[in-house]
Amino acid sequence: MTASSMRTVRSADSVNRPTRLLEPAEWAAAGIPLLRNPREVVSGLHTRHRPLPRTAVVAVLDPEERLRASASFTRRESATDGWTFRNALLSQLRRVIPHDLRRRSPVRTAVLLYCREGDGRWTEEDGAWMWGLRDACTLHGLRCGAYITMTRDGWQVLGEGRAGRRPSVGSAVEALGGDEHALPRTGGAATEMLRRAAAR
């Protein structure tokens, strides 16, 4: 292999490897607040956004874990880098909810649900999303909350070990109507409109 071809291989590797990420141990040591009912959060966001692979859903919860704002977008960039993900998340947060930078300490919490192929094991892409979420929260005056992955096998809160088989990527939105207590309370206004439509 020539010196020029070796330089090409190195540069390709450096482009594809994430440069800003958090390892699972670093994430666990960051003191991320636990969700009281992660399944309700996941079900509510799934109902509201119906995410497909490569879709990120960022949501802001109040202290009672009620949904205050959320936005979803499809990852289009090829590079896996926390800085790029941070910018994308921050752009969405600025679009849907005012910042809390004037508060002495954060009151609202941002969580991230990312849908992807593969299994539930941590990947470097997950590490880059974690880095991006933490940094975006700091810049928007929010607490950094849970990072949740969703695959065709189900969902899981990384770093906590809590998981479920439904909803999953490609699964149908859970039936609305009937028992109101079964409705995800984090579905917000969209879920309420769907419930009323189903009840007609």
Dump pLDDT digits (tens) for 18-45: 679 999 999 999 999 999 999 999 999 9
Question: pTM here?
Answer: 0.79
Pseudo-torsion of CA 40, 43, 49, 53, nearest 10°?
Answer: 120
Cis preceding linkage at 24, omega within 30: no
Instruction: Pick 18-199's CATH classification: 3.40.50.2300, 3.20.20.70, 3.40.140.10, 3.30.1490.70.
Output: 3.40.140.10
**Domain boundaries of the chain, sorted by first residue:** 18-199
Q: What is the separation of C-alpha 142 from the centre of its chain, rounded to a whole number of angstroms?
A: 14
For the cut 90, the answer to whether the pLDDT of residue 170 exceeds it is no
Q: Are 111 and 130 within 8 A, CB to CB?
A: no
Residue % of the chain over a pLDDT of 70: 78
